[in-house]
Amino acid sequence: MTFYEELLTGYNIDLNHSGVSGERIAKRLDEISRIGAEENNGVTRIGYSREEKRAKELVAGWMKEVGLEVSMDGAGNVFGRLEGENKGPAILSGSHLDSVPKGGNFDGPLGVLAALEVVEAWRQTGYTPPFPFEVVIFSDEEGSRFNAGMTGSESFMGKMKSEDLDNLIDQEGNTFDEVIKIYDSSREKFLNPSSKEKDIQLFVEVHIEQGKVLEKHNQPVGIVSGIAGPAWLEVTFEGQAGHAGNTSMENRKDPVIAAGIFVSEIEALPRKVSEMAVATVGKLKVLPNGVNVIAQEVNLMVDIRDIREETRDRLIELIYQKAEEVADKRGIEVTWNLNTKIRPLPIEKNLQEKLANVMDEMNIEPIYIPSGAGHDSMIVGEEIPVAMLFARSRDGISHNPKEWTSLDDCVLSVHVLKKFVEKEMIEKAD
């Protein structure tokens, strides 16, 4: 069974109304899933890769077909603009198309296609919005290329400096300046914040939940109440390389042992600061990585998150201290670099209430969910009001080929988004 056929299995065709088409959404999710497809049904579309660019070009083609004016900024962010009956501030909606290595097919693409489907529905019903509406695709949300996420939205909002780009080098040793050439761009163009050229009243993002709250409450769509701020800490333990057979155990300075102790002891640290705090080591690199060699160096990334900035930063300090403590006991060196540090974002209460009113009209119980994952919304939201919707994730699985959101839930999220945007624009017009 193809991905498209699987999506349509059991789909409630009664959800096809008001110009919204589940079949169209399924077809487009299927087409995007083929770009960077893996044998295990997962996908790899790393930020600023040719695969990410191909996916953007595919969606940009759909934007043009529906009559949107398409443009791209210096970060490779793509915008599809629909003019309204009146001039004035636009509502933006969208997400990203890049993925983690061997990721799933809904994280990011659903938000882009939900926004595009709103425009498709308006065209089908002959509706012209009171004010401009833009569909946006942000570059490199996941951060898998440079171990620093959301560079596209950070460029859009003017949050990055030239010295920040100096530290961005991918696993193949390519500098940021070399990589951004894929978009015929440059450092200077990237650092030009395209948001300053736009009049924006609101950004709305649809995303899969990546958790089990909606599944627990048996609801298709939920309201994001706030977004945890991620910090990515790069830690390097440096020991002394040696022969695995000729170096006695008591004379070793093995950074792998130090890294192992450090990783195991991180687990207890988040609960010392808050119930929401988390810390994860998901990436390690051993050098020289030989089977019969005591390693010279271990480099690892710690993903640190909390819904409150002060407790998140306290956890960073505890992890710093733990790294120093382990290195001191093992007689080796440790260095670190904080690659990413983004403020948590609370969502405005009035926007949450407006989303709840739309859900009440649709007989969906409003469920409020804090997001432990970072999103482009949190970057945009530092200066522009944002609202965010979650669509239900089966078993809470994400960043995994088994990631799944039913087509029913995808389509219902589009209907909520559409009604919410229409109400916001009508209120602005009045």
Binding residues for Zn(2+): 96, 107, 142, 207, 399
Within 10 angstroms of residue 268's Cβ, the number of other Cβ atoms is: 11
Answer whether the bond into residue 288 is a cis peptide, omega within 30°. Answer: yes
The gap from C-alpha 150 to its chain's centroid, in whole angstroms, comes to 7
Q: Point out the annotated binding site.
A: 96, 107, 142, 207, 399
Rounded Cα gap, residues 363 and 361, in angstroms: 6
From the DSSP assignment, how many helices (H) and strands (E) are in the chain? 14, 15
Angle at 193 between CA 78 and CA 382, to 5 degrees: 95
Rounded Cα gap, residues 261 and 258, in angstroms: 5
- For residue 343, give the DSSP letter: -
Residues in contact with 322: Cβ distance below 8 Å, sequence separation at least 6, in sequence order: 262, 265, 266, 269
Rounded Cα gap, residues 321 and 318, in angstroms: 5
- With CA atoms as reference, report the closest residue to 394 among 214, 207, 205: 214
